[in-house]
Chain A
Amino acid sequence: GENVGLHLPTLSVQEGDNSIINCAYSNSASDYFIWYKQESGKGPQFIIDIRSNMDKRQGQRVTVLLNKTVKHLSLQIAATQPGDSAVYFCAHSGSARQLTFGSGTQLTVLP
């Protein structure tokens, strides 16, 4: 089956520093990738997406990079703030509009 996984389960960064969260996937046929943010006890919130015909997309303080050669996806958060502390999931599209989710990375922002 399809697999989306994360390199590290936890990440701690100093407030104001940049954060980089990584994700590996195995299905080279995937054409759509999404990053979600999930705060404790809440549902995931959409952050940013990228299609397979792109290698970079920028949003507000976030950038997603896609390297199809090595099947790697990353989320960069600029000037990380305490409110960025959450679990971040990558997901990729499958058949019938399904999404396959990774196990998540817990980002902790240190004061």
Chain B
Amino acid sequence: EDKVVQSPLSLVVHEGDTVTLNCSYEVTNFRSLLWYKQEKKAPTFLFMLTSSGIEKKSGRLSSILDKKELFSILNITATQTGDSAVYLCAVVVAGGSYIPTFGRGTSLIVHP
């Protein structure tokens, strides 16, 4: 059974801190890994990673994938209160229907 594990489950930091969120996976026939940010409502897409070692970056957020060690990290630098959210990681396997398997998420709270 495909498995996606995120850590930590929750994190409380102050504005300006840098955080690293982890996503490890055990799947057969990996295709891609997706990161989403979920505030009060729907998850919004952040990154899609398919190749090892290539960093994806968007402003203060960045993410990288290690296909050998089967994990990805999401970094947020100079955190702001608006970064408070649940961050979800999902893995898509090749073959079949390409349905994402989601982790339980990391809840990030940024205090002013």
A, B: real partners: no
